[in-house]
Amino acid sequence: MKRSARAIIDTSALRHNLSRCREVAPNSLAMAVIKADAYGHNMLKTAETLSHANGFAVSCITEALELRQARFIHPILVLQGFQTMQGMKAMAEHRLRAVVHDRYQLELLESAPPSIKLDIAIKLDTGMHRLGFPIEQAWTLFERLSKHPNIKPTPWLMTHMACADEPGNSHTQQQIDRFEKYTDGLQAPRSIGNSASILAWPQTHVNWVRPGIMLYGSSPFSHGNARRDGLEAVMTLTAPLISIHTIAKGESIGYGASWTCPDDTRTGVVACGYADGYPRHAPTGTPVWINGKESRILGRVSMDMVVIDLTAIEARIGDPVELWGKHISVDRVAQAAGTISYEILCDVGGLCQHEYV
Ligand SMILES: Cc1ncc(COP(=O)(O)O)c(C=O)c1O
């Protein structure tokens, strides 16, 4: 038996957003980032919808194997690479491109049987300081790995931007400059840009771009506006009203009695809570959409329910409430809840039914 909250996924919006990426970065191939169950949108269905992408990027081997088992033959980049010999063998067998980012992976490669032939991307750290070899080692690593018998010709060179979501931040230009300086002259495909880089930093439009959040119609920028960037909302989180009543002036609402009615207040209870992926930290005032009007939540979000304001709104039991989607952007909800859209989209996991339209 499914719960009442539904995540409706608009497949044409997904496709539109990939086209938008291609329009902005016309000379790059697009590797759709569909890790973490496609940011909560369902990895296999998203891959099917975006089967015209030039490739997919996932975080780990398990995700990549799921794609291969579902018969996706695309290039697949595994962003965390392999951690064991067994993992490396599986990646070679299934033609997965491994991101090589750490010395222990080099040691595994050196001790692999000659039959292993692996596609790799060398991850270079230009200033993110998460994964990757120091950028100064680009030439020596490339020389060593491109001649390595276990590696298929021409490793890719890649890096990742730390601050591309802040268009004025000089850190990004520094990272780009370092990447260009230290990889200059190396004959290899390159990949730099995530969504924010794609939209704001054309210098990152090299051979491959790696769009993630923009495919799902959310802005990668902290106070961004996805529509202004030509993106369409993909997920609508909706749930029905299951109770309506008027709470008297001076009475409070929900756990912790955190919100007190300033007047007699008509309220509705929506069958969606943090178990469905709605952020518990969304405060009173976080916008919702009901029957053509914007309203707001009142009091604390509970596990399976949230209370909304129905002042001056005609509503009946069963009416659908949009928690985010075409009218209320997921970015607004994320900002209200003090988080980012990535987190709340990823949280719309298994409990909430997903419907593809
Ligand atoms: C290495 C790498 N590339 C690309 C992306 C996609 O980023 P975004 O969702 O901001 O486009 C991610 C996401 O975390 C990533 O880790």
Pairing of strands 76-78, 55-58: parallel
Q: Specify which residues 238 forms β-bridges with.
A: 6, 322
Per the domain annotation, does 4 fall within a domain? no
Residue 132 lies in a domain: yes
Q: Tell me the mean pLDDT in the region 270-290.
A: 97
Whether residues 160 and 16 fall in one domain = yes
Task: For residue 352, name the pLDDT band (cuts at 50, 70, 90).
Answer: confident
Angstrom distance (rounded) from CA 122 to CA 157: 5
Pair 41, 77 in one domain: yes
Given the DSSP bridges, would you call strands 29-33 and 208-209 parallel, antiparallel or unpaired?
parallel
Predicted local distance difference test score (pLDDT) of residue 105? 96
Q: Are residues 123 and 205 in the same domain?
A: yes
Tally the domains of the chain.
2
Please tell me the distance between residue 212's alpha carbon and the centre of ligand 1 in angstroms: 6
> Annotated active-site positions, please?
35, 255
The DSSP result for 132-151, as a single string, is SEEGGGHHHHHHHHHT-TTB
**Predicted pLDDT at 204:** 96
Q: Show the domain range for 190.
A: 11-216
Residue with the smallest CA separation from ligand 1 atom 14 is 212
Residue 1 has a pLDDT of 67
pLDDT tens-digit map of 4-38: 999 999 999 999 999 999 999 999 999 999 999 99
- Measured distance CA(350)–CA(36) in Å, rounded: 12
What pLDDT is attached to residue 339? 96
Greater confidence (223 vs 251) lies with: 251
Distance 33 CA to ligand 1 centre (A): 7
Q: Please name every residue paired with 29 in a beta bridge, in sequence order, or none if there are none.
A: 208
Report if residue 223 sits inside a domain: no
CA distance 162 to 271: 38
285 and 172 in a single domain? The answer is no
| pLDDT of 265 | 98
Asked whether residue 75 falls in the same domain as residue 206, the answer is: yes
Does residue 120 fall inside a structural domain? yes
**Rounded to whole angstroms, how far apart are CA atoms 42 and 348?**
10
Rg (Cα) of the chain, in Å, rounded? 23
Q: Specify whether the CB–CB gap between 206 and 27 falls below 8 A.
A: no
Task: For 138-197, write each residue's pLDDT tens digit.
Answer: 999 999 999 999 999 899 999 999 999 998 899 999 999 999 999 999 999 999 999 999
- Around ligand 1, the residues with Cβ closer than 6 Å are 33, 79, 160, 194-196, 210-214, 220
Which of 14, 21, 29, 33 most suits a substitution to test ligand 1, by most atoms within 8 Å of the C-beta?
33
The crossing angle, in degrees rounded to 10, of helices 85-93 and 61-69 is: 30
Residue 352 Cα to ligand 1 middle (Å):
24
Domain boundary among 216, 245, 260: 216
In this structure, the answer to whether residues 151 and 37 fall within a common structural domain is yes
Name the domain boundary from 216, 251, 273: 216
350, part of any domain: yes
The domain boundary, picked from 184, 216, 248, lies at 216
CATH at residue 258:
2.40.37.10
Residues 6+ apart with CB under 8 A from 70: 44, 47
DSSP letter at 185 equals T
Tell me: do 200 and 273 sit in the same domain.
Answer: no
Residue 230 lies in a domain: no
Q: What is the pLDDT of residues 290-327, one digit of tens each?
A: 999 999 999 999 999 999 999 999 999 999 999 999 99
Quote the distance between the C-alpha of residue 32 and its chain's center. 10
Q: Are residues 67 and 134 in the same domain?
A: yes
By residue count, the chain amounts to 357
Residue type, 201: W
Q: What is the pLDDT of residue 224?
A: 84
Token pair in block for residue 136 = 């100064």
Average pLDDT over residues 51-80: 98
20 domain-assigned: yes
> pLDDT digit string (tens) for 84-140?
999 999 999 999 999 999 999 999 998 999 899 999 999 999 999 999 999 999 999
Q: What angle do CA 294, 300, 301 make, to 5 degrees?
A: 75
Domain of 99, CATH number, reads 3.20.20.10
Q: Give residue 135's identity as a one-letter amino acid code.
A: I
Q: Are residues 198 and 250 in the same domain?
A: no
What is the C-alpha to C-alpha distance for residues 87 and 91, in angstroms, rounded to an integer?
6
Same domain for 206 and 245: no
**Claim: this prediction has a pTM higher than 0.85:** yes
Look at residue 222 in the predicted model and tell me its pLDDT. Answer: 83
Q: Is 226 inside any structural domain?
A: no
Using pLDDT thresholds of 50, 70 and 90, give the confidence band for residue 350: confident
- Residue 9 dihedral angles phi and psi, to the nearest 5°: -105, 120
Residue nearest to atom 16 of ligand 1 (CA): 79
Same domain, 150 and 25: yes
pLDDT average, residue stretch 62-76? 98
> What integer pLDDT is reported at residue 313 of this predicted model?
96
Q: How far, in Å, is the centroid of ligand 1 from the Cα of 161?
A: 9
